[in-house]
Amino acid sequence: MKNGLYIVATPIGNIHDLSERAIETLKAAEVIACEDTRITKKLLSLLNISIQKTFITLHDHNEEEQAGKLIALISGGQAVALVSDAGSPLISDPGYKLINHCRAAGIYITVIPGCCALICALQLAGLPTDRFMFAGFIPNKDKARQDLFSELKAIPATLVFYETAPRIIKTLTAAAEIFAGRRLAVAREITKLYEECLTGTAEELIARFNAKEPKGEMVFMVAPPLKKNDSEVDVEAELRRLLADMPLKSAVKTVVETFSLNKNEVYQTALRIKNES
């Protein structure tokens, strides 16, 4: 295999999601740059790929230093595969500094695409995908979380975040206030046995997780803001969209509050749509 850097996506839950090209690359690479050698060696073993290779660990704090070593190996004729513990390297995972240095050094770089949790989550959620913003992990501290949500609130795009189960209720509670009335989604355990994607208001999702303890890896998404006071806005279309996964009362409330409309008129429209279906 040609010397260079091969960015290889690995599965996020189902080993069969690894592409043929990814398997061939992992077999042929003399060097593997990874986050945790135990996790990557386990993956290679499951694939019956030899682990008689050089493993170099890469994380946020040593990436600059390790980049020098990897560039020397590639310049010496070796093929390096860059992997994360799971999913696509560089996406809330190490790698961008390494790529930057490799580009500056004129090294051959290619990508072997595959699973990326944020893309899978967007595909599952049914929120608008024409424009989205990925904002990485949500901070753990209440104030930092609120500040981040407030900063992103007006962005006319679906917002996508990585989140963990123990923090999701706090995140939904902050979202109930800052993204009031917007449709939310939580995609969890994607490609695994208990994969599910929940959508609804913050209150509905909080009720769901209070009834059934949140577990597993999660992606949290927020629908774009509705255009307030926009005379062009199609109230009926908004109602249809909301009624797809909200009770009538919540959909009416959201539309009334967002567009400052007459409650009775919106209620009658919602009732008509409901009866039609």
Q: Least distance in Å: CB of 187 to ligand SAM?
A: 6
Strands in the chain per DSSP E: 4-8, 31-34, 54-57, 79-82, 109-112, 132-137, 158-164, 184-188, 196-200, 217-222
Among 87, 95, 200, 214, binds ligand SAM (CB under 6 A): 87
Smallest separation, CB 162 to ligand SAM (Å): 3
Select from 93, 168, 185, 242 the one that contacts ligand SAM (CB under 6 A): 93
3-class DSSP assignment, residue 47: coil
Rule CB under 6 A: is residue 7 a binding residue for ligand SAM? no
Q: Is the Cβ–Cβ distance between 153 and 198 less than 8 Å? A: no
* Binding residue for ligand SAM, selected from 5, 7, 13, 157, defined by CB under 6 A: 13
Residues in the interface with ligand SAM (CB under 6 A) total 25
Of the candidate residues 25, 40, 66, 88, the single one contacting ligand SAM (CB under 6 A): 88
Count of other CB atoms within 10 angstroms of residue 188: 22
Q: Which is nearer to ligand SAM, 36 or 142 (CB)?
A: 36
> Six-digit token pair at 138?
């949500």
User: Rounded distance, CA 83 to CA 79, Å?
Assistant: 13
Which residue in 34, 26, 32 sits closest to 1, CA to CA?
26
Q: x/- string (CB under 6 A) for ligand SAM, residues 148-167?
A: --------------xxx---
Minimum separation from the CB atom of position 258 to ligand SAM (A): 29
Cα angle 28, 31, 36 (rounded to 5 degrees) comes to 115
- Residue number with CB closer to ligand SAM (100 or 262): 100
Which parts of this chain interact with ligand SAM (CB under 6 A)? 12-13, 84, 86-88, 91-93, 115-118, 162-164, 187-192, 217-219
